[in-house]
Structure 1
């Protein structure tokens, strides 16, 4: 069964796009087939994966019910396909919600033949608007990157409350993953990590993603860190995270 995971956090700068791009390649390195959906109008995930030109087709045309998900997809590697945002996706970022409008992406996924993919990863914008609602409603699992500092803790607290509201409407998610990202060996980061693990327990992945130069440099080359620096510690961290997510989900 295809596992659908939204990478969400209403706070910006926590590493959602970095996590999605590198996790996709890490899962592919484990033999998984991955569809990545860039639900952020900025299109940074697409750029990170080497799709610099903004294709006319994309998530916008899917949500407008003009094309299917697979029609709007772009091949990244033999194991990874991408749905770019599309040039006009920004028009939907603050669209007025109406009954049924939050289920457009779920409907598109149900109509598409996604059985060829083991995972669908959605990179969401830092908001709670139309695009995020559609992504979460289409997902069975949530992946929440959080920076280990005061603002990261505050954002995670607000995100947890928001998730409870979604679950009251849609039921519980099968998995909730909290990933500590942009970690540095500083006292404030270690203290924040302890608090996150104390309050959220086994929802926090054992693997921490460190702030490293290779991870920061790879998007500029249109590559994941696994392609840019395959023998780096950063690459090892994302593969370890992919193994944890893959094994626990199964």
Structure 2
């Protein structure tokens, strides 16, 4: 039985491309024959909307079979998975009620490990090669839960001056997380929303290379196909296979598979 690896995508800066990167890396991993489970850990529901239309997402979000309900009940996540339209790719959708998750966690015993415990049976079952978790753009108890449940962290960063804002806070937070998740490995920084015509891209790269983390070789450039794919609730590789972003996310997924073994 192969070991299941848990990878989370986190950055306290909104608009960094976490959900887009998580959904498309997961899609290409599944296409490569890996069995993948995606977990939407954000109340904005973007990861869920990448695979289901809005009506279906809101139906799930308002029901009893979503991540919020599982965490509130400290339940085994095995019974909360949904199949997507793609082979080897399942998802646990989120809920808008995730906005209250910090309150739900506050009074719980060993609250930093609730997600890890809920994932334990699923992770040990061998059903999946990879579990990918999308995080909200915050630094708090819920994100610490996600990090504590993960083996690897990927930090998507928008290639812009504002995209770098607060990144130092992320790494300071990670030093605190090490106390509850000493084995967590920063797999790398994924650079997104790149516009090579802008002079600040070179400056962004110089700044990122000073951080204590690998920068993935594959960059994700700005591409309207990403937005069109999202509007159609599809991964960009399914929406337009020939697009630049599709090829780049395929290459990034291949890099991630090499690093997160």
TM over 0.5, yes or no? yes
Of stretches 175-184 and 119-128 in structure 1, the one that deviates more from structure 2 is 175-184
Partner in structure 2 of residue 197 of structure 1: 209
Residue 62 of structure 1: aligned partner: 70
User: Whole-Å Cα distance in 1 between the matches of residues 76 and 97 of structure 2?
Assistant: 16
Q: Are positions 1:83 and 2:85 aligned together? A: no
Whether 1:35 aligns to 2:37 is: yes
The CA deviation string for residues 183-208 of structure 1, in whole angstroms up to 9 with x for no partner, is: 1111112221122124346x111111
Q: CA deviation at 1:145?
A: 0.5
Identify the residue that residue 101 of structure 2 maps to in structure 1: 92
Q: 1:19 aligns with which of 13, 18, 21?
A: 21
TM-score (norm 2): 0.89
Q: Call closer, same or farther: CA 1:179–1:31 in 2, change over 3 Å.
A: same
The 5 Å alignment of 1:134-173 reads 134-173=145-184
Q: 1:67 to 1:164 in 2, by over 3 A?
A: closer
Deviation at 1:229, TM superposition (A): 0.6
Residue 110 in structure 1 maps to residue 112 in structure 2: no
Q: What CA distance in whole angstroms lies between the structure 2 residues aligned with 1:165 and 1:25?
A: 32
Cα distance in 2 for residues equivalent to 1:87 and 1:9: 20
Return 81-90 or 4-13, whichever deviates more.
Answer: 81-90
Counterparts of 1:223 and 1:134 in 2: how far apart (Å)?
A: 28
CA distance in 1, matches of 2:125, 2:40: 16
Answer yes or no: is the 8 Å Cα contact 1:94–1:129 preserved in 2: no
Q: 1:215 aligns with which of 214, 226, 251?
A: 226
**Which ranges in structure 2 are unaligned for 5 or more consecutive residues?**
none
Following the alignment from structure 1 to structure 2, what is the Cα–Cα distance between the partners of residues 23 and 41? Answer: 21
Instruction: Kindly report the root-mean-square deviation, in angstroms, between the aligned alpha carbons of the 2 structures.
Output: 1.8
Q: Distance in 2 between matches of 1:226 and 1:12?
A: 24
For residues 93 and 129 of structure 1, what CA distance do their matches in structure 2 show?
Answer: 8
Instruction: Verify the 8 A CA contact 2:30 2:87 in the aligned structure 1.
Output: no
Matches of 1:199 and 1:67 in 2, distance apart?
A: 37
| Number of residue-to-residue matches in the alignment | 249
